């Protein structure tokens, strides 16, 4: 069997609650697919920060580099400013390991009602490819003259040809392997200077993909269409901030932010990739045992896919679907089940699929 070393960072709040049962599900499905997981547990978090003055040890990134992949829960908790926790852990990992693609499927699972009133026959099944290393999330800028009347904050957006091109090509490849349609999120009416450049690079790349139909949408109109006509989308490519906003909206239209998964990919595989739910640490419900674990579990399935085990990944997704159609749901989906009860239901289905196979 193949041994896979996975760095596990549960992080803060519900991150720790949804991570634990996910590892058991991975072990169960791994066993049947010749995958043996070696977990490298890291308690890096806001609690760790309070103890040590840093979100991770000085050689934290080196420790992670030794792992094949990374599983993350969520980072950030009241008491530590978000810019400290995020620039101290999440963002450095995404950047150091060149995880320049953030892949975020938006799929309405069987058994879940979308909060939208959908037209007969509408299926929500698309993927957002979010640029994950640059754009609006740049390190160029800062705050000046704090506490004076001249105080200001400035941040430059940085779009490089290389950065836009690799996101565009990834999205075009994905669209070519799906239904052949790519929506590009833009704001090209010239107000935002970077966006006409984004459009130009996307369309330069698209010339190599005659089978993919590319259409630009202004981000504001695109957000409205996620609500009004989500069935039209196949692959959506977006900059870092646009993609961030669109994917919480995407999570909402598939019923809950608690289900949506996210893969921070280093497509070349030179570095570990990182798999996490779209949601954060949810301080408002932390410690109650009611967080939905499905986003974390679905993210684990994306990891299996990235590891080259699509069958194992599909079994996890089927088990998620089976748990949903059996009616075991957390409160965010209108149910009464606990985190553990939902995770146990998924585990049971993973195991019984194995027995059936």
**Site residues for Mn ion per CB under 5 A:** 244
Rounded Cα distance, 34 and 39, in Å: 16
Which of 67, 106, 257, 347 lies at the binding interface for ligand NAD (CB under 6 A)? 257
Q: Is residue 61 within 8 Å of 67, Cβ to Cβ?
A: no
Structure tokens, 319: 């088990």
Which of 68, 131, 276, 344 lies at the binding interface for ligand NAD (CB under 6 A)? 276
Q: Is residue 163 within 8 Å of 133, Cβ to Cβ?
A: yes
Shortest CB 329 distance to ligand NAD, Å: 11
Indicate the helix (H) or strand (E) that contains 154. strand 152-155
Query: Does 244 participate in binding ligand IPM (rule CB under 6 A)?
Result: yes
**Binding string, residues 5-44; x marks residues near ligand NAD by CB under 6 A:** ---------x------------------------------
- Residue 268: strand, helix, or coil: coil
Residue recorded with tokens 């996307």: 202
Q: Is residue 254 within 8 Å of 114, Cβ to Cβ?
A: yes
Give the dihedral of Cα atoms 110, 71, 287, 246; nearest 10 deg. Answer: -50
**Binding string, residues 104-143; x marks residues near ligand IPM by CB under 6 A:** ----------------------------------------
φ, ψ at 314 (rounded to 5°)? -65, -35
Q: Which residues contact 20 (CB under 8 A, 6 or more apart)?
A: 10
Which of 106, 183, 260, 285 lies at the binding interface for ligand NAD (CB under 6 A)? 285
Which of 54, 86, 192, 249 lies at the binding interface for ligand IPM (CB under 6 A)? 86
What residue 315 binds from ligand NAD, ligand IPM, Mn ion, none (CB within 5 to 8 A, per partner kind)?
none
Q: For residue 326, give the DSSP letter.
A: T
Shortest CB 240 distance to ligand NAD, Å: 13
- Residue 96: strand, helix, or coil: helix
Query: Does 93 participate in binding ligand NAD (rule CB under 6 A)?
Result: no
Q: Which of residues 149-178 bind ligand NAD (CB under 6 A)?
A: none
Structure tokens, 293: 């674990």
Output Rg (C-alpha) for the chain, integer angstroms. Answer: 20
Query: Does 243 participate in binding ligand NAD (rule CB under 6 A)?
Result: no
In terms of CB distance, is 254 or 304 closer to Mn ion? 254
Q: Which of residues 47-76 bind ligand NAD (CB under 6 A)?
A: 74-76
Stretch that binds ligand NAD, among 117-125, 178-186, 272-280, 319-327 (CB under 6 A): 272-280
Rounded Cα distance, 234 and 91, in Å: 28
β-pairing, 273-277 vs 261-265, is antiparallel
Q: Is residue 133 within 8 Å of 92, Cβ to Cβ?
A: no
Query: Does 315 participate in binding ligand NAD (rule CB under 6 A)?
Result: no
What residue 273 binds from ligand IPM, Mn ion, ligand NAD, none (CB within 5 to 8 A, per partner kind)?
none
β-pairing, 69-74 vs 273-277, is parallel
In terms of CB distance, is 126 or 242 closer to Mn ion? 242
Query: Does 279 participate in binding ligand NAD (rule CB under 6 A)?
Result: yes
In terms of CB distance, is 244 or 353 closer to ligand IPM? 244
Shortest CB 283 distance to ligand NAD, Å: 6
Interface ranges with ligand IPM (CB under 6 A): 86, 90, 244, 278, 280
């Amino acid at each position: 069997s193949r041994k896979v070393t996975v760095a596990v960072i549960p992080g803060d709040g519900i991150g720790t609650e949804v991570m634990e049962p996910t590892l058991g599900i991975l072990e169960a499905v791994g066993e049947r697919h010749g995958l043996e997981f070696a977990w490298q547990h890291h308690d890096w978090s806001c609690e760790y920060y309070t103890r040590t003055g840093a979100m991770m040890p000085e050689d934290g990134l080196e420790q992670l580099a030794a792992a094949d992949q990374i599983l993350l829960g969520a980072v950030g908790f009241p008491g530590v400013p978000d810019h400290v926790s995020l620039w101290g852990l999440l963002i450095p990992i995404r950047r150091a390991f060149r995880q320049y693609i953030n892949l975020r499927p938006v799929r309405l699972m069987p058994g879940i009602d979308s909060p939208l009133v959908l037209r007969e026959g509408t299926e929500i099944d698309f993927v957002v490819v979010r640029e994950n290393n640059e754009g609006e999330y740049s390190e160029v800028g800062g705050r000046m003259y704090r506490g004076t009347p001249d105080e200001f904050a400035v941040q430059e957006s940085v779009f490089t040809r290389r950065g836009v091109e690799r996101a565009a090509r990834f999205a075009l490849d994905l669209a070519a392997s799906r239904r052949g349609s790519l929506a590009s999120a833009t704001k090209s009416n010239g107000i935002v200077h970077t966006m006409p450049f984004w459009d130009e690079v996307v369309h330069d790349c698209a010339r190599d993909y005659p089978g993919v139909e590319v259409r630009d949408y202004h981000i504001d109109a695109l957000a409205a269409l996620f609500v009004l006509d989500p069935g039209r989308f196949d692959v959506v490519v977006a900059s870092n901030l646009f993609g961030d906003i669109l994917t919480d909206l995407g999570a909402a239209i598939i019923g809950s932010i608690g289900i949506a998964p996210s893969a921070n990919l280093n497509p070349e595989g030179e570095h570990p990739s990182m798999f996490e739910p779209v949601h954060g640490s949810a301080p408002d419900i932390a410690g109650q045992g009611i967080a939905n674990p499905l986003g974390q579990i679905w993210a684990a399935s994306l990891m299996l896919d990235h590891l080259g085990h699509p069958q194992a990944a599909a079994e996890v997704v089927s088990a998620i679907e089976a748990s949903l159609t059996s009616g075991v749901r957390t409160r965010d989906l209108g149910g009464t089940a606990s985190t553990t009860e939902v995770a146990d239901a998924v585990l049971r289905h993973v195991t019984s699929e194995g027995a059936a196979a």
